[in-house]
Chain A
């Protein structure tokens, strides 16, 4: 059974950093993409970025460029998302999702997010 299992809820102080991890089991890790989304209460999902472990290629949404780092550990089938300098606006549920990827030249396209993690609630509060 394919699963994406995320680390547990976090409560952070403004200005600190948060790391959320996502372990893939039951399926090949490297050949697909692992993407990170967040969803604030009452809002739709928002894509933060993605990684293709096999190619060691990452792409980020411009909105998060410089604040988010996505990495993958192929030995443990685990992807990590680090978000620095958090504020109250970063309070949300964070999801990882395994997806398909098509690449041409220097661009990769992420789609068909078939397996999602259970979500990690991140609360930023002083």
Chain B
């Protein structure tokens, strides 16, 4: 199975500042079509996961432009600009190129 590692595993951010989460894959996530099959999800306690970014850099419908994704191949980054209190939660990267679909261990974001 494809292993995804995230760093840091926890992050405490001052409101209004930016935060970045790194995700690295044990194998390339680039398909022959040129797309990297890497998504980012956020989960709040007691809630279902919510997609933020798909195919590495595409913002999902209804997601604030404060969230952006970048990267390709085996190295990816999620950036949260102007962090707000509502951004508290666990952030997961997920790959969909190789079966089974796998998730990173998650990064817990809280507010200082």
Contact = CB atoms under 8 A, between A and B. Distances in A.
A107 to B, nearest CB: 8
A119 interface: yes
B51 A114 contact: yes
A57 interface: no
A45 B103 contact: yes
Interface of A: 35, 44-47, 50, 59, 61-63, 95, 97, 100, 102, 104, 107, 109-114, 116-119
Given A50-B101, A112-B54, 20 more contacts: A44-B105, A45-B43, A45-B49, A45-B103, A61-B100, A61-B101, A102-B31, A102-B33, A104-B32, A107-B99, A111-B37, A111-B39, A111-B54, A111-B94, A111-B96, A113-B39, A113-B41, A113-B49, A114-B60, A116-B49
Q: Could you tell me the dominant secondary structure of chain B's interface residues?
A: loop
Interface in B80-112: 90, 92, 94, 96-97, 99-106
Task: Indicate the member of A95, A104, A110, A111 with the most B CB atoms within 10 Å.
Answer: A111
Contacts of B50: 116
Given A111-B37, A111-B54, A95 B48 contact: yes
B55 interface: yes
Q: Could you tell me the dominant secondary structure of chain A's interface residues?
A: strand
Nearest to A47: B101
A50 B101 CA distance: 10
30 contacts: A44-B90, A44-B92, A44-B104, A44-B105, A45-B43, A45-B92, A45-B94, A45-B103, A46-B103, A47-B101, A47-B102, A47-B103, A59-B99, A61-B99, A61-B100, A97-B49, A102-B33, A104-B33, A109-B31, A109-B96, A110-B96, A111-B37, A111-B39, A111-B101, A112-B51, A112-B60, A113-B41, A114-B51, A114-B61, A116-B49
